[in-house]
């Protein structure tokens, strides 16, 4: 018989680990509620043209990393490599920008990129993110960054830095692009093949290249901050002012351009100071022209995204608790034929009253059933024998202290509800 193996670059979230994911996802939802963001869920596959048009045809995502396939009617589809394009597509298609309370959304779910698997980087990975539509106000930029900062603090992280930059807009970008071309061209033969190809079409992408030689040249490249027009300068200064007022520390890093073409003006990254090369926890920025580019109204937008995998690695590196692994409130031990027959109705009553319950129908001795209760770390054990059942009694044992008491069976639900 063939033994199947999981595809390279993917992984299983096992039952012993899933509680960690639930823990951080629940915190993200709590922070979303604090900032009044509502959840949006989009399909995991879209037309490939959606990503090619929005993300940019010179990005690594489109050039190398998309999972593309044809359906039975020949339509070219792609597993979503990132979340923003799908959210903007939904915004335009469903006229969400015209509906009240739909301009601030968050999402969580799997994304897919054909990339070289490494620690914290997979071909199927899980992202969380937010998108905020409808305002050009720099305070919205600062609030978006504050959401990310609040989330990282809520999960307990301390060892990270916020780096910010402005990459300008279409009014000042052309002059900067030309300055980059002039700077990099004398080194053209030393650049990687990707950068040689991108230098004319999208020179800012050279600043984001991970090649060691290209990175050494990028460090000394002209700064976008020197080419900002007055409007972009004021916008970036206001973002910094608001962050300072909210006591959010930041570092200005002129090399932040992000790897996707739709960004403009504010760009930012939260960097883990403990991790190695793959150290970006959250990245995001403003994309004021994207909605119009994708067929919608001229609606500005800003957002961020982060990966749960890297977040969990960072939390583990800082020895942060994920809370407790899931366990039942009570484990029901039965002794005797009548008690066994009564067990299903009793368990149903427990669960109907919100009491998480477990039992082991294949174990019959009290010793074997108690071992099962210990193994799953139940808070309490209820022991019900035929004699106890006949006399409306049941024994309640605290598994932490070992204390045991006999309680009227008719009162047990009320007693347990006091405890949980």
- Per-position b or e across 369-386, b if 16+ CB within 10 A of its CB: bbebbeeeebbbbbbbbb
pLDDT of residue 161 exceeding 90, the answer is yes
Is the Cβ–Cβ distance between 80 and 51 less than 8 Å?
yes
Residues whose CB is less than 8 angstroms from the CB of residue 316 and which lie 6 or more positions away in sequence, other chains included: none
The Cα–Cα gap between 325 and 272 comes to 26
What CA–CA distance (Å, rounded) separates 342 from 274?
55
**pLDDT higher than 60, residue 418:** yes
How big is the CA angle at 103 (ends 165 and 298), to the nearest 5 degrees? 70
Give 238-251 as a DSSP string: HHHHHHHHTT---E
pLDDT digit string, tens, across residues 333-348:
999 999 999 999 999 9
The pLDDT of residue 352 is 96
Mean pLDDT of the chain: 90
Reply yes or no on whether the pLDDT at 238 is more than 80: yes
pLDDT (mean) for 89-104: 86
pLDDT of residue 230: 92
Domains annotated on the chain, with CATH: 18-169+229-317 (3.30.930.10), 330-419 (3.40.50.800)
Q: Is pLDDT of 56 > 70?
A: no
What average pLDDT does the segment 64-77 reach?
89
Mean local confidence (pLDDT), 143-154: 98
Give the tens place of pLDDT for each residue, 375-394: 999 999 999 999 999 999 99
When pLDDT is averaged across residues 62-69 and rounded to a whole number, the result is: 77
Whether pLDDT at 61 is above 60 = no
Q: Is the pLDDT of residue 55 over 80?
A: no
Rounded to the nearest 10 degrees, what angle do helices 84-93 and 48-55 cross at? 110
pLDDT bin (cut points 50, 70, 90) of residue 66 is confident
pLDDT for residue 193: 83
Question: Is residue 420 over pLDDT 90?
Answer: no
* C-alpha span between 214 and 190 (Å, rounded): 8
Which pLDDT band holds residue 57 (cuts at 50, 70, 90)? low
Question: In this model, does residue 214 exceed pLDDT 90?
Answer: no
């Amino acid at each position: 018989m063939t033994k199947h193996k999981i595809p390279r670059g993917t992984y299983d979230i096992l039952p012993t680990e899933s509680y960690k994911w639930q823990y951080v996802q629940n915190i993200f939802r709590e922070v979303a509620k604090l900032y009044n963001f509502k959840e949006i869920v989009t399909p995991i596959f879209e037309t490939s043209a959606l990503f090619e048009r929005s993300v940019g045809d010179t990005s690594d995502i489109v050039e190398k990393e998309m999972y593309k396939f044809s359906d039975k009617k020949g339509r070219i589809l792609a597993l979503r490599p990132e979340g923003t394009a799908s959210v903007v597509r939904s915004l335009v298609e469903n006229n969400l920008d015209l509906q009240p309370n739909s301009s601030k959304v968050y999402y969580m779910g799997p994304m897919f990129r054909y990339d070289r698997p490494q620690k914290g980087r997979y071909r199927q990975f899980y992202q969380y993110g937010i998108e905020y539509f409808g305002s050009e106000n720099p305070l919205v930029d600062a609030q978006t960054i504050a959401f990310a900062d609040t989330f990282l603090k809520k999960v307990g992280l301390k060892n990270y830095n916020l780096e910010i930059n402005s990459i300008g807009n279409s009014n000042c970008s052309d002059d900067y692009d030309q300055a980059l071309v002039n700077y990099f061209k004398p080194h053209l033969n030393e650049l990687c093949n990707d950068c040689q190809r991108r230098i004319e079409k999208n020179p800012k992408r050279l600043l984001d290249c991970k090649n060691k030689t290209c990175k050494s040249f990028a460090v000394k490249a002209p700064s976008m901050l020197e080419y900002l027009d007055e409007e972009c300068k004021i916008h970036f200064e206001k973002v910094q002012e608001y962050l300072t007022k909210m006591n959010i520390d930041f570092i200005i890093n002129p090399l932040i351009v992000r790897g996707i073409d739709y960004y403009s003006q504010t760009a930012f990254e939260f960097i883990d100071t403990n991790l190695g090369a793959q150290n970006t926890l959250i990245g995001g920025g403003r994309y004021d022209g994207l909605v119009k580019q994708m067929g919608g109204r001229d609606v500005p937008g800003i957002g961020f995204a982060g990966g749960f995998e890297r977040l969990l690695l960072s939390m583990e590196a800082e020895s942060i608790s994920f809370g407790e692994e899931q366990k039942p409130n009570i484990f029901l031990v039965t002794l005797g034929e009548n008690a066994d027959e009564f067990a299903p109705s009793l368990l149903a009553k427990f669960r109907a009253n919100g009491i998480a319950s477990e039992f082991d129908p294949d174990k019959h001795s009290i010793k074997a059933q108690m071992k099962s209760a210990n193994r799953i770390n139940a808070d309490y054990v209820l022991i019900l024998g035929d004699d106890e059942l006949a006399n409306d009694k049941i024994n309640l044992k605290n598994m932490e202290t070992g204390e045991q008491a006999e309680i009227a069976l008719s009162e047990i639900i009320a007693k347990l509800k006091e405890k949980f």
